[in-house]
Chains A and B, each alone.
Chain A
Amino acid sequence: MTTSPQTDPGPLRQSARAKRATRIADAASGGWKVVAAKILGLGVVDAIAIYALFVLVRSESWLVAGLVVFVTLLVNWIYFSRGKLPAKYLAPGLIFLAIFQIFVLLYSGYIAFTNYGTGHNSTKADAVNALLLSSQNRVADSPSYKLTVLEQLGELSFLVTEPDGSVSIGGNERPLEDVSNARVEGGVAVGLDGYTSLGFSDILGKQTQIAAISVPLSDDPNDGMLRTPDGSSAFLYTSSLEYDEAAGTMRDTNSGTVYSDIGTGAFTSDAGQELLPGWKIDVGFDNFIRAFSEDSIRGPLISVTIWTFAFAFLSVFTTFALGLFLAIVFNDKRMKSRKYYRIIMILPYAFPGFLSALVWAGMMNQEFGFINVVLLGGAEVPWLTNEWLAKGSVLFVNLWLGFPYMFLVTTGALQAIPEELTEAATVDGAKPWAIFRFVKLPLLLVSVAPLLISSFAFNFNNFNLIYMLTNGGPRDVSAGVNVGATDILISMVYKVAFVGANRDYGLASAFAIIIFLLVAGISIISFRRTKALEELN
């Protein structure tokens, strides 16, 4: 074929060539600099990934290692293949989303099905180790022995000088034997022929090994073992617990009680006594069942849930009502200096919420607070310590914090409603209230309803305000549980998880899941309703 492309551009061929041209242009568009940057970037990513793999494989975290391999391969494939433009833009964001959001969500979800909390925060091996460590008691009134660590053919021995000056040597499970030919300096045996004495830096290199050595004092194990905490002195210990690895039981050598693993995450005796620390186990739906069945939890859970709904609903309602009222007032063209008023109205919105709450807590002090002293002339109104006044105060402060947002939102929405509608309604003889009620409000709600729903969800979990203003108080001293009158679900979860000596992360996570289901449920229903509202219009 000798026809040149210029003279014979068949429609089909042209499109094929156009495609090819685009492809070449695509590939060439960045030039070599972009390619180099791409390679360098991916090189760094891959290098970090491979380093991470080394660490993960060595610590035997196979699942995470597998994920790292998968993600790294995926990233390389995405950026080295042609096209896949959306994936190229989305990949980093999605990966970070997975790490920082989805993983965290799944992990706290997983915690809800475990007994993670005080006394159950690690593995069984750690628990065994910790129990054995803490059961070693120094023999009462036993002397401290001066110690030199010796090495012979890779085997470590303790050269011990007793307080009376006699010298003996022993090793792990080799009882002490007297020696007479030791080199003694300043009353302490420092060396023995045929052995190398270890200096402090040599000892540091073998710390784990040396710390694990226990030298029996004699053939009778009840006499105790010599162990060293620092490599230069040794003490005589006896252990009150014995671990039977085959049976998986702990035996108290003093009382003879056997503690066995009965599946509750702690060694338990037949009499039901638990040895702590225990370890983390999966408990299935236990935490959820506890939330609804245990009287001490269910009671407060119900009252707190009711108050949470009341608080969230009333907060949204009051802030919206006030915001809307002010928006209408300041939207009226007859009002002078509207701009300045608007700026003042926005001010509460400009302060950080938790700071405002703290300041309000100070102003509401019964005896020294600004409100009682200055505004009420010395009246001692217990704003934060009476159950109902505290609830009112929380709502009031939240109103103060929240109305500027509603004011902003409704001002915008009101200005978007065409003037003609109002004029038309006026011509038809409608009164201002009727215009507002039947024309403006429905139009307003269409655009504002989703914001009201999100505001509801926000207030449902408005931890800052409750924590800083009342910390959930006042507490009902006769209730017998650590829950106060203004506690909402999230602050109650906080108290379960982080307040007091006994943390229960499992139960707190279960609560968090319940809260999530509540908020999600309400949001879904409300959004459905909003759609119906839109269709009406």
Chain B
Amino acid sequence: MKVTKRGLWAVGALTVTASLVLTGCTAASDDADNAAGTGEALTVWVDADRAAVLKDAAADFTAETGVEVKLVQKEFGDIRDQFVAQVPTGKGPDVVIGAHDWLGTFVTNGVVAPVELGDKADDFQAVGVTAMSYEGQVYGVPYSIENIALVRNTALAPSTPATFDEMVTMGEAAGTEYPFLVGLDPEAADPYHLYPFQTSFGAPVFGTDADGSYDSDALEIGNAGGDEFAAWLAEQGAAGVLNTNITGDLAKEKFVAGEAPFYLTGPWNVPAAVEAGIDVAIDPIPSAGGEDAQPFVGVQGFFVSAKSENALAANEFIVNYMGSEEVQTALFEVGGRAPALTASFDAASADPIVAGFGTVGENAVPMPSIPAMGAVWEFWGVTEAAIINGGDPASLWQKMSGDIQTAIAG
């Protein structure tokens, strides 16, 4: 008898508790429904650096439109894979920040929706919009543009060198331990930093279509210019100008210590040198092969998920809000990355370093975002490292070109 009573009591209490908790839950879930239905919450994935400035921008956007913006902080490097994995489940964000060379992966996996910049497209620097395009379709709103340039220690080298050889001569005349520094990995060199020299021999990675987008069928890396570049790599490796034991960290350390007049790097390494009291000037990258030395340009921007239920709000947010001069300027002030919006860039160019990198960037080309590029990275750096370290340039370079061709076809 006692047992039954207790059992009844238990069931009763359970019902009460459960229903209490449940009422809370249903109420909460109703709210969530409303939010999804009226688009009152936009989920944005952003990295820690950009989260601070986006927070203010998001608050302004909410005040103006009534759309709440939920900022979720992610490690920048993790965003690409998590976005690709989560969008298909329907639990991904509405908007993500990302780099333009992720675009190929995004499109091949069907996780991004096209963005229509409309007339605003002309307000951005052309290379930014090109970089955010894939097969003629624009997929993102660019916000910053980055490229490498030659950083010169003005105390050690008073003038701008015209060619690579002249630079090395000037560097040797400066009497420092190294005439020229560039960070290379012992295993994989650094194709990104060496690319301007490669283009100066007339050997881009891919040819371009009529509309200016990269064509994976037109692999140019193994052309005659490529062979010349490989021979040049071997020469510079033998002469010790290019040294795969000087990693990115070491190169930075030595330039900051004043042990070299020239340093090939991006804007991210300049503040350390300035803080160390080095007077720097930003020069164009000297040509090694006679043609223009064109570095890669990396563009960062915002993408909209293909499965966003808040497509209109998301577009409004990234095109009309993130693309505004005010926000682009604010993002520049926090991150120090050159803005993609021409008006903001012009304002930012008051800083000679930004202007210097910008001038070099005018001649730059967007890093290919087509999936075939993955096959290129796989073989490119290790081959360069092998050649710098004494491998036979002609055969290794052609072998690499063949391997890339096979991998793309495969």
Contact bitstring A445-484, B, C-beta under 8 A = 1, else 0: 0000000000000000000000000110111011010101
Interface residues of A in 199-219 (CB under 8 A from B): 200-201, 203-205, 207-208, 210-211
Taking a contact as CB atoms under 8 Å apart, the answer to whether B114 and A231 are in contact is no
Among listed B50-58, B198-206, B378-386, interface-contacting one: B378-386
Whether A39 sits at the interface, judged by CB under 8 Å, is yes
CB distance from B200 to the nearest CB of A (A): 23
Q: Which of B22, B315, B373, B396 contacts A501 (CB 8 A)?
A: B373
Taking a contact as CB atoms under 8 Å apart, the answer to whether A54 and B316 are in contact is no
Q: Which of B243, B373, B386 contacts A477 (CB 8 A)?
A: B386
Taking a contact as CB atoms under 8 Å apart, the answer to whether A40 and B17 are in contact is yes
CB distance from B66 to the nearest CB of A (A): 5
Q: How far is the CA of A106 from the CA of B305 in the complex (A)?
A: 29
Taking a contact as CB atoms under 8 Å apart, the answer to whether A126 and B307 are in contact is yes
Whether B111 sits at the interface, judged by CB under 8 Å, is yes
For B84, the chain A residues whose CB sits under 8 A away are: 121
Check A204/B39 contact, CB under 8 A, given A122-B88, A385-B187, A478-B399. Answer: yes
CB distance from B25 to the nearest CB of A (A): 4
Interface residues of B in 296-336 (CB under 8 A from A): 306-307, 309-313, 315-316, 319-320
Whether A138 sits at the interface, judged by CB under 8 Å, is yes
For B306, the chain A residues whose CB sits under 8 A away are: 126, 129-130, 133
Whether B126 sits at the interface, judged by CB under 8 Å, is no
Q: How far is the CA of A193 from the CA of B210 in the complex (A)?
A: 48
Closest to A130 in B: B110
Contact bitstring B78-100, A, C-beta under 8 A = 1, else 0: 00010011011010000000000
For A501, the chain B residues whose CB sits under 8 A away are: 104-105, 371, 373-375, 377
Taking a contact as CB atoms under 8 Å apart, the answer to whether A201 and B136 are in contact is no
CB distance from A160 to the nearest CB of B (A): 14
Check A477/B10 contact, CB under 8 A, given A118-B371, A229-B311. Answer: no
Among listed B115-123, B270-278, B339-347, B354-362, interface-contacting one: B115-123
With A204-B38, A204-B39 known, 15 other A-B pairs at CB within 8 A are A50-B25, A54-B25, A121-B109, A138-B116, A201-B38, A205-B38, A207-B313, A210-B312, A211-B312, A368-B245, A475-B187, A478-B396, A480-B406, A500-B375, A500-B378
CB distance from B386 to the nearest CB of A (A): 5
Q: Which of B29, B250, B312 contacts A51 (CB 8 A)?
A: B29
For B22, the chain A residues whose CB sits under 8 A away are: 47, 50-51
Whether B151 sits at the interface, judged by CB under 8 Å, is no
Q: Which of A54, A144, A205, A229 contacts B115 (CB 8 A)?
A: A229
For A121, the chain B residues whose CB sits under 8 A away are: 84-85, 88, 109
For B250, the chain A residues whose CB sits under 8 A away are: 368
Interface residues of A in 265-310 (CB under 8 A from B): 276-277, 296
Q: How far is the CA of A144 from the CA of B187 in the complex (A)?
A: 51
Whether A530 sits at the interface, judged by CB under 8 Å, is no
Check A44/B116 contact, CB under 8 A, given A130-B111, A207-B39, A208-B309. Answer: no
For B88, the chain A residues whose CB sits under 8 A away are: 121-123, 126
Taking a contact as CB atoms under 8 Å apart, the answer to whether B312 and A229 are in contact is yes
Closest to A129 in B: B306
Taking a contact as CB atoms under 8 Å apart, the answer to whether A384 and B108 are in contact is no
CB distance from B181 to the nearest CB of A (A): 13
Taking a contact as CB atoms under 8 Å apart, the answer to whether B187 and A230 are in contact is no
Whether B235 sits at the interface, judged by CB under 8 Å, is no
Q: How far is the CA of A473 from the CA of B386 in the complex (A)?
A: 12
Whether A148 sits at the interface, judged by CB under 8 Å, is no
Binding site for A on B (CB under 8 A): 3, 6-7, 10, 13-14, 16-18, 20-22, 25-26, 29, 37-40, 65-67, 81, 84-85, 87-88, 90, 104-105, 107-111, 113-116, 118-119, 135-137, 186-188, 243, 245-247, 250, 306-307, 309-313, 315-316, 319-320, 371, 373-375, 377-379, 382-383, 386, 389, 391, 396, 399-400, 403, 406, 410
For B39, the chain A residues whose CB sits under 8 A away are: 204-205, 207
For B108, the chain A residues whose CB sits under 8 A away are: 118-119, 276-277
Closest CB pairs A-B (n = 10)? A501-B374, A130-B110, A43-B17, A122-B88, A277-B110, A47-B21, A204-B39, A367-B245, A205-B38, A473-B187
Taking a contact as CB atoms under 8 Å apart, the answer to whether A51 and B13 are in contact is no
Taking a contact as CB atoms under 8 Å apart, the answer to whether B109 and A122 are in contact is yes
The number of residues on chain A lying at the interface, defined by a beta carbon within 8 Å of a beta carbon of chain B, is: 73
Closest to A128 in B: B110
Taking a contact as CB atoms under 8 Å apart, the answer to whether A54 and B29 are in contact is yes
Q: How far is the CA of A402 from the CA of B66 in the complex (A)?
A: 59
CB distance from A166 to the nearest CB of B (A): 19
Check A131/B110 contact, CB under 8 A, given A27-B3, A39-B10, A473-B187. Answer: yes
Taking a contact as CB atoms under 8 Å apart, the answer to whether A204 and B310 are in contact is yes
Closest to A228 in B: B312
Taking a contact as CB atoms under 8 Å apart, the answer to whether A235 and B316 are in contact is no
Closest to A135 in B: B137
For B378, the chain A residues whose CB sits under 8 A away are: 482, 500
Taking a contact as CB atoms under 8 Å apart, the answer to whether B320 and A44 are in contact is no
Q: How far is the CA of A384 from the CA of B244 in the complex (A)?
A: 12
For B136, the chain A residues whose CB sits under 8 A away are: 137
CB distance from A351 to the nearest CB of B (A): 20
CB distance from B360 to the nearest CB of A (A): 27
Q: How far is the CA of A231 from the CA of B67 in the complex (A)?
A: 14
Q: How far is the CA of A415 from the CA of B246 in the complex (A)?
A: 50
Taking a contact as CB atoms under 8 Å apart, the answer to whether B243 and A367 are in contact is yes
Closest to A45 in B: B18
Whether A516 sits at the interface, judged by CB under 8 Å, is no
Q: How far is the CA of A43 from the CA of B13 in the complex (A)?
A: 8
Contact bitstring A44-73, B, C-beta under 8 A = 1, else 0: 101110110011000100000000000000
Contact bitstring A492-509, B, C-beta under 8 A = 1, else 0: 000000101111000000
Taking a contact as CB atoms under 8 Å apart, the answer to whether A203 and B21 are in contact is no
For B186, the chain A residues whose CB sits under 8 A away are: 365-366, 384-385
CB distance from B105 to the nearest CB of A (A): 6
CB distance from A358 to the nearest CB of B (A): 12
Taking a contact as CB atoms under 8 Å apart, the answer to whether A133 and B114 are in contact is yes
Taking a contact as CB atoms under 8 Å apart, the answer to whether A36 and B13 are in contact is yes
Whether A35 sits at the interface, judged by CB under 8 Å, is yes
Whether A526 sits at the interface, judged by CB under 8 Å, is no
Whether A176 sits at the interface, judged by CB under 8 Å, is no
Contact bitstring A221-250, B, C-beta under 8 A = 1, else 0: 000000011111101000000000000000
CB distance from A380 to the nearest CB of B (A): 8
Taking a contact as CB atoms under 8 Å apart, the answer to whether A47 and B66 are in contact is no
Whether A127 sits at the interface, judged by CB under 8 Å, is yes
Question: Could you jot down 11 A-B contacts, CB within 8 Å?
Answer: A47-B25, A126-B110, A144-B119, A204-B312, A205-B37, A207-B39, A229-B116, A232-B316, A366-B245, A368-B250, A477-B400
Taking a contact as CB atoms under 8 Å apart, the answer to whether A231 and B316 are in contact is yes
For B377, the chain A residues whose CB sits under 8 A away are: 500-501
Whether A80 sits at the interface, judged by CB under 8 Å, is yes
For B319, the chain A residues whose CB sits under 8 A away are: 229-230
Check A47/B18 contact, CB under 8 A, given A121-B88, A129-B306, A367-B243. Answer: yes
Check A211/B21 contact, CB under 8 A, given A121-B109, A137-B137. Answer: no
Check A477/B114 contact, CB under 8 A, given A207-B312, A229-B311. Answer: no
Taking a contact as CB atoms under 8 Å apart, the answer to whether B400 and A118 are in contact is no
For B111, the chain A residues whose CB sits under 8 A away are: 130
For B245, the chain A residues whose CB sits under 8 A away are: 365-368
Whether A29 sits at the interface, judged by CB under 8 Å, is no
Closest to B39 in A: A204
Q: Which of B17, B315, B383 contacts A39 (CB 8 A)?
A: B17
Q: Which of B114, B373, B375 contacts A136 (CB 8 A)?
A: B114
Closest to A131 in B: B110
For A59, the chain B residues whose CB sits under 8 A away are: 90
Q: Which of B246, B374, B391 has the most CB of A within 10 A?
A: B374
Q: Which of A44, A230, A366 contacts B315 (CB 8 A)?
A: A230
Closest to B396 in A: A477
For B119, the chain A residues whose CB sits under 8 A away are: 144
Closest to B16 in A: A43
For A130, the chain B residues whose CB sits under 8 A away are: 110-111, 306
For A48, the chain B residues whose CB sits under 8 A away are: 21
